């Protein structure tokens, strides 16, 4: 049976150990897919556009609180490894949230420049019948920083052309559209990369 432990590791120079710890951290922290939430749209009546007399409707991506969760076991290895992990967390904007069991959740929030917003047909119809319908008689401008949308392929049917047009009206800064072929991601299963 081969030996799998390296007992001389503590005798290595601290600089070399830190390099090894850094190499043990995940390479990938994004881009990721986040699920659309209708609650993210906020009417800002106090921000009136003087020349048009319209309020602004902002998509507050900060409200996408289903953060991408990362598995970082290195955090629990040693004091030295934890320091390297904490440095890496700060560099990548990763937050630490404690759990009741003494463990932690490591997560990253939505980045509108690199992450994608996943919109299902059901969620969009729910949004149209709820919040969007309620705002129909108000004059407002739409503002969003989201650059990438993810949609299920079945949304691109002729019967849904009005829905697609509506989505692009609300998210007018989109530069990239990604399509899921087959079954899309399951929100209950967490967010994917």
CA nearest to 114, candidates 186, 29, 48: 29
Question: What is the pLDDT at residue 85?
Answer: 92
Successive 10-residue mean pLDDT values, the chain, 193 residues = 71 90 82 83 68 72 76 88 92 85 84 85 71 55 83 81 81 85 60 40
Specify which residues 105 forms β-bridges with.
97
Question: What is the pLDDT at residue 161?
Answer: 81
pTM of the model: 0.68
Question: What is the pLDDT at residue 16?
Answer: 92
Question: What is the pLDDT at residue 82?
Answer: 92
Question: What is the pLDDT at residue 57?
Answer: 76
The answer to whether 86 and 27 are in contact (CB under 8 A) is no
Residues in Cβ contact with 120 at an 8 Å cutoff, skipping those fewer than 6 apart: 36, 152, 184
Question: What is the pLDDT at residue 186?
Answer: 60
Question: What is the pLDDT at residue 5?
Answer: 72
The answer to whether 168 and 155 are in contact (CB under 8 A) is no
- Each domain of the chain, given as residue ranges in start order, spans 33-65+111-189
């Amino acid at each position: 049976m081969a030996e799998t432990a390296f007992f001389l590791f503590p005798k290595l120079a601290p600089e070399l150990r830190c390099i090894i710890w850094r190499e043990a951290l995940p390479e990938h922290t994004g881009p990721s897919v986040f699920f659309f939430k209708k609650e993210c749209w906020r009417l800002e009546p106090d921000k009136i556009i003087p020349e048009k007399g319209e309020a602004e409707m902002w998509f507050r991506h900060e409200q996408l609180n289903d953060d991408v969760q990362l598995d970082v076991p290195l955090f629990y290895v040693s004091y030295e490894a934890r320091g390297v992990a904490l440095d890496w967390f700060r560099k990548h904007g990763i937050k630490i949230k404690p759990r009741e069991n003494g463990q932690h959740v490591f997560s990253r929030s939505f980045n509108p420049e690199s992450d994608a917003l996943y919109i299902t047909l059901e969620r969009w119809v729910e949004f149209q019948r709820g919040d969007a319908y309620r705002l129909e008689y108000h004059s407002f401008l739409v503002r969003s920083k989201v650059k990438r949308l993810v949609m299920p392929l079945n949304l691109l049917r002729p019967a849904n052309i009005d829905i697609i047009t509506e989505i692009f009206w609300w998210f007018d800064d989109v530069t990239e559209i990604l399509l899921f072929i087959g079954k899309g991601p399951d929100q209950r299963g967490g967010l994917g990369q």
